[in-house]
Structure 1
C-alpha cells in the first residue's frame, strides 16, 4: 500500500498567509497520510488542522495542545532508509538546493529530508561496483512558507514550497513541490 507524507519547511519569522492557503488547497489534492513540519507555528498548524485530521509531527517551533501534534526528535525515521531533521547535522549549508541534505545523508548514512535551508530541491548519488548498485543516498530540501517581504534573509536562492515522500514498501520517491503560482496544480 502506498503512503504519502507531506513535509513543510520553515515558517518563521512570519508565515506567508497566501502560501498557507495554497498549502491547504494542495493538501486536498495530495491527500497525505501524514504531515511532518520541520518548524511548526500556530498559523501553520491552525491552517493544517482546518483541512487535515491525520497525524502531524513537528520537529520544532511553536504549537499548542489543541493542534494534536507529536513532537518529533531531532532525527525522525520518516520512511524506510530516510530520516527527517530540523537541524543541519553538522553539514555546511550549500547554495545548491538539495546539496545540504545530500551532505547530511552522506554523513548519516541514510537519505535525509530537511527544511532549514529555505531551498527546494532533491539530489541523489549512487554507489556501486561491477555493475551492481550498493546504495543510493538522496537529500531533499523542502523549501519554506515564509513571507519574503518580512524576512531579513530573503534572497533569490530561497523557494516556497513543500516536499512529498511517496512510500511504496521499501521504495521511497521524493518530490519537491514548488509554489510557482497560486494554483495547486503540480
Structure 2
C-alpha cells in the first residue's frame, strides 16, 4: 500500500515552526511514497493587497524569504528521497503575478517565478499549475482557481468534488475537513470525497486578521492507496504541533528552518 503525505499551506516565513518540525520528523520516520504540497509554501506578503501603501510593501524581503523556503526544501529532501510535488498557490505566485500586472515588459523571464525563486529543479521538486493527479480518481489543487469558498470545513473541497466529478484534495482554505458527496439512482451510488488539509502557519503572524482569530485548523492530509482504492485522512495537529497517526503520537523534533 502506498502512502502520500499532503502538506498544506505553510506560508514561510510565517510557518508554525513546531508543527513543521513534527511533520518533517514524521516524514523521515515513516518514509511515505510521495509528498505533495498543495501550495502557499511561501507567504510573500510584500506584493499583497494587504501591504499596499505600508512600510511592509518596501521591506525587500522576497529573496530572503525565498532562502527560508529553500531551507525547508533542503530539510525535506534530507528526509525524503521520493517524488515531491509543489502545486502553485496564490501566495507562491505573488511576486511574478505582481510583475506581470505592473511591468509586463519585465516579466518575460522567470526570475520571480516560484520555480526560480525556490530553485525547485535543484531540489528535484515538480511544479504544477492548477490540478495534479495525485492518486487514482483523485486530483490535488491549491483551491484558488474558480472554486467557490465555504466557511464550513471540508465543504469547499466537497463542492469541488461534486462539481468536477472526481475526488479532490486541496489547501487554500486553511480549514481541515473531509466531506463526501453521493448521488445516483436505484441504489447505484457514486461518492466523491473532498479533503481540505488545513494549514501549518502561525496564525499570530497573520496581521490582516483584525480579530486575531479565524475559522482555521492546523493539520495535514494522508492518502492510503491500495491499487485503485484510496482512503483519505485529515490529521489534526494541536497548537503545540503534536499529532497522532496510526496509534503513535508525533511531537516536534527540534528541526529548524
Q: TM-score, normalised by structure 1?
A: 0.90
Q: Is the 8 A contact 1:9 1:145 kept in 2?
A: yes
**RMSD of aligned alpha carbons:** 1.8
Q: Quote how far apart the aligned CAs of 1:182 are.
A: 3.6
Which residue does the alignment assign to 1:109?
165
Superposed CA offset, 1:22-45 (max 9, x none): 111221344310011112341432
Partner Cα distance (2:11, 2:148) in 1: 21
More helix by share: 2
Alignment check: 8 A CA contact 1:89 1:104 kept: no
Q: What is the TM-score of this pair, normalised by structure 2?
A: 0.66
Task: Find the structure with the greater CA-based Rg.
Answer: 2
The alpha carbon displacement at 1:66 in A equals 2.8
Q: List 4+ stretches of structure 1 deviating above 4 A.
A: none
1:172 to 217, 222, 230: 230
**Which has more strand, going by share of residues?**
1
- Paired position in structure 2 for 1:87: 143
Give the count of matched residue pairs. Answer: 184
Distance 1:47 1:151 in 2: 24
Corresponding position of 2:108: none
Cα distance in 2, alignment partners of residues 17 and 46 from structure 1: 15
- Aligned runs of 1:3-152 on 2, under 5 Å? 3-12=2-11, 14-39=14-39, 40-41=41-42, 42=69, 43-60=71-88, 61=92, 62=114, 63-64=118-119, 65-133=121-189, 135-152=190-207
Structure 1: runs of 5 or more not aligned: none
CA distance in 2 between partners of 1:183 and 1:86 (Å): 24
Is this contact kept in 2: 1:162–1:177, CA < 8 A?
A: yes
| Aligned-partner Cα distance in 2 for 1:92–1:155 | 22
Q: Is the 8 A contact 2:161 2:181 kept in 1?
A: no
CA distance in 2, matches of 1:120, 1:30: 22
Cα displacement string for residues 159-178 of structure 1 (whole angstroms, at most 9, x for unaligned residues): 11110111111111110111
Quickly say closer, same or farther: Cα 1:89–1:110, change in 2 above 3 A.
farther
Contact kept? 2:174, 2:199, Cα under 8 Å: yes
